[in-house]
Amino acid sequence: MQLDAYIAGVGMTHFGKHLETGLKALGAEAVQKALADAGIGQDDLEAAWVGNAAAGLVTGQESIRGEVVLRSIGIGKIPVVNVENACASASTALNQAAAMVSAGLYDTVLALGVEKLYHADKQRTFGAFSGAVDVEALGEIMASLKQAAEQGGATAAASGAGQKRSMFMDIYAMAARAHMERYGTTVEQFAGISAKNSFHGSMNPRAQFREQLSVEDVLRAPMIAEPLTRPMCSPVGDGAAAVVIVSERKARELGLERPVRVAASVLRSGWDHGPDEDGLSETCAQQAYEEAGVGPEDLSVVELHDASAPAELIAYASLGLCAKGEGGKLVEDGSTRLGGRTPVNTSGGLLRKGHPVGATGIAQIVELTEQLQGRSGDRQVEGAKVGLAHNGGGNIGIDAAALCVTILTR
């Protein structure tokens, strides 16, 4: 659909380990920053969409997560819609909020993503990830991952999935090994993604990790699941991010100096398709480009779902940044680094900024909005005009369960 939605304000917490801070405090900080950035009060909000994926398992909060978080800062009476869609929860919340504003039902709404993943019992955290697949087929999935690892000689990946680490790292590792075998992609190229994103994240004060790593540092790190070393895997984290979305009429009324338009937001679920057919990422990206009236060549900056280093490299082709199998070349020639043709994950990405799953999609929007408004400091992309966010979640078959591609324009 044609969107009529603008971002009036953004807010975000520092991502990281917040064992002593609850969902309410994290969400409140992001919301209050977004309201202040928009120059409005909480009484101006007409509705809210709140994304969260794992609170039920990790904190025990079910059913009314959004209402609990917002009521803690005195926001009530308005409709609050709770959104759960795996790692795409926050981008789904934004998609729905922008659609309702565009449909004319509201002029001023809130989209919030908030998550706590750190817990003294790590099995609760890993359980949240294991629940983002078809649990009735979980035994079959685990057996398939183990068999693929053993056949590929991946000794670290042959055991521990879902117990010592998120099982999604094993899914990404299997995809990485297949990409290497088919296209000749190298482990050094995957490590280059982590090194690049560490450079970007070193300049982001809200990032979970700010240490700058070299390719050699990444390769020397402990092996998690071949070929993924620890810096090639996104970390567990806590945090929140929020945006205030307004109609064009409200944007004029507020006199926004640097309005950012939601030019497209495409949300789809995966389906059964052949391994060589266009999948979820390709389909969402193509539709988003058509709706926004832009192409890959027009992108100034991209925030994409680098839950692992191979995920970013593989997504380059899905978004049309290169031909299939040529993602490694973009890493080597610096095309996706700050100063390159299309900088990717200037925030540090999920690998360095962090990945509190229910907050990630809106955190991407915060980064892109600030880039388009020229307020990203040392990591600013000069003259940024068009930004794309790519945020997927869950896994069924050979594709993500849900994915949202959003395009913002200045």
Q: Cβ(300)–Cβ(371) under 8 Å?
A: yes
Cα separation, 375 vs 388, in Å, equals: 17
Amino acid at site 251: A
Per-residue confidence (pLDDT) for residue 271, from 0 to 100: 96
Q: Cβ(98)–Cβ(265) under 8 Å?
A: yes
Per-residue confidence (pLDDT) for residue 124, from 0 to 100: 85
Cα separation, 301 vs 385, in Å, equals: 8
> In whole angstroms, how far apart are CA 263 and each of 30, 93, 268?
24, 16, 17
In the annotation, is 233 catalytic? Answer: no
Summarised one tens digit per residue, pLDDT across range 200-236 is 999 999 999 999 999 999 999 999 999 999 999 999 9
- Lowest mean pLDDT across 39-48, 272-281, 304-313, 321-330: 272-281
Got the DSSP string for 168-191?
Answer: HHHHHHHHHHHHHHHH---HHHHH
Summarised one tens digit per residue, pLDDT across range 166-206 is 888 999 999 999 999 999 999 999 999 999 999 999 999 99
Cα separation, 166 vs 162, in Å, equals: 5
Per-residue confidence (pLDDT) for residue 142, from 0 to 100: 84
Per-residue confidence (pLDDT) for residue 291, from 0 to 100: 97
User: 6-119+237-261: which CATH number, 3.40.47.10, 3.30.420.40, 2.40.50.140, 2.60.40.10?
Assistant: 3.40.47.10
Burial of 212 (0-12, 13-18, 19+ CB in 10 A): middle
More confident: 372 or 142: 372
Cα separation, 54 vs 61, in Å, equals: 9
Q: Is the pLDDT of residue 96 over 80?
A: yes
In the annotation, is 87 catalytic? Answer: yes
* pTM of the full structure: 0.96
If DSSP codes are grouped into helix, strand and coil, which group holds residue 409? strand
CB atoms within 10 A of CB 297: 10
pLDDT band at 157 (very low <50, low <70, confident <90, very high): low
Cα separation, 363 vs 30, in Å, equals: 10
What count of Cα atoms within 13 Å lies in the side-chain half-sphere of residue 403? 26
Cα separation, 348 vs 312, in Å, equals: 12
* Residue burial 119-139, b: 16+ Cβ < 10 Å; e: rest: beeeebbbbbbbebbeeeeee
Cα separation, 302 vs 341, in Å, equals: 11
Catalytic residue among 18, 87, 119, 305: 87
Per-residue confidence (pLDDT) for residue 158, from 0 to 100: 65
* Total residues belonging to the chain: 410
The domain limits of the chain are 6-119+237-261
Question: Token match 């031909």: residue?
Answer: 323
Summarised one tens digit per residue, pLDDT across range 179-188 is 999 999 999 9
CB atoms within 10 A of CB 340: 14
- Nearest Cα to Cα of residue 307 among 340, 261, 356: 356
Instruction: Tell me the sheet residues that pair with 87.
Output: 85
Q: What is the dihedral of CA 378, 379, 384, 390, to 10 degrees?
A: -160
Catalytic residue among 179, 355, 390, 404: 355
Q: Cβ(30)–Cβ(15) under 8 Å?
A: no
Q: Cβ(126)–Cβ(118) under 8 Å?
A: no
Cα separation, 138 vs 125, in Å, equals: 17
